[in-house]
């Protein structure tokens, strides 16, 4: 009876080991497909993913340049898509992080000013310490008297 128990034990250990080998082999294969088999391939796959994200962001910006504030449009206007895609993965990752932040700022700005009229002056006249803001779209104007220490002589 003891011999049969030893054989059953060894058979069970071999079966479990075979299962673990299969699972580990499957995990390595799937992980290699997603992340790359070695460091070089992993970096290459990461770079491909970043380039796809950059291309997608440029496409979104071309479709709607107001996804970010105009003051931050240099993020797209500074380099063309082809030049941007030539950068290394660290630079692309930083650029994508800046774009995410710029989009968040635009969303916060849009939600905070929803329903409010933003007064953007189109003319600024300075005469005898008085600044005059003219807003033709609203057909209004506002005069502001400057403190004496600021008035140019």
Closest CA to 81 of 71, 92, 72: 92
Mean pLDDT value across residues 9-18:
86
User: pLDDT digit string (tens) for 16-27?
Assistant: 888 898 888 888
Q: Apex CA 81: angle with CA 89 and CA 34, to 5°?
A: 40
CB 45 within 8 Å of CB 88: no
Q: At what angle do helices 39-63 and 2-35 cross, to 10 degrees?
A: 40
| Residue spans per domain, the chain | 2-112, 117-153
Q: What is the pLDDT of residues 46-57, one digit of tens each?
A: 999 999 999 999
pTM of the model: 0.55
Q: What is the pLDDT averaged over residues 80-97?
A: 93
pLDDT one-digit tens code per residue, 101-141: 999 988 888 777 554 545 444 445 455 555 555 554 444 55
């Amino acid at each position: 009876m003891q011999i049969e128990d030893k054989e059953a034990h060894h058979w069970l250990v071999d079966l479990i080991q075979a299962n673990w080998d299969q699972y580990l082999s499957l995990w390595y294969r799937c992980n290699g497909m997603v992340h790359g088999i070695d460091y070089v391939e992993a970096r290459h796959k990461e770079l491909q993913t970043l380039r796809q994200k950059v291309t997608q962001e440029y496409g979104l910006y071309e479709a709607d340049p107001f996804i970010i504030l105009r003051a931050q449009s240099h993020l797209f206007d500074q380099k063309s898509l082809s030049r941007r895609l030539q950068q290394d993965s660290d630079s692309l990752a930083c650029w994508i992080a800046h774009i995410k932040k710029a989009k968040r700022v635009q969303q916060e700005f849009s939600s905070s000013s929803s329903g409010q009229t933003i007064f953007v002056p189109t003319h600024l006249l300075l005469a005898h310490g008085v600044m005059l803001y003219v807003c033709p779209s609203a057909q209004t104007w506002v005069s502001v008297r400057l403190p004496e220490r600021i008035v140019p002589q």
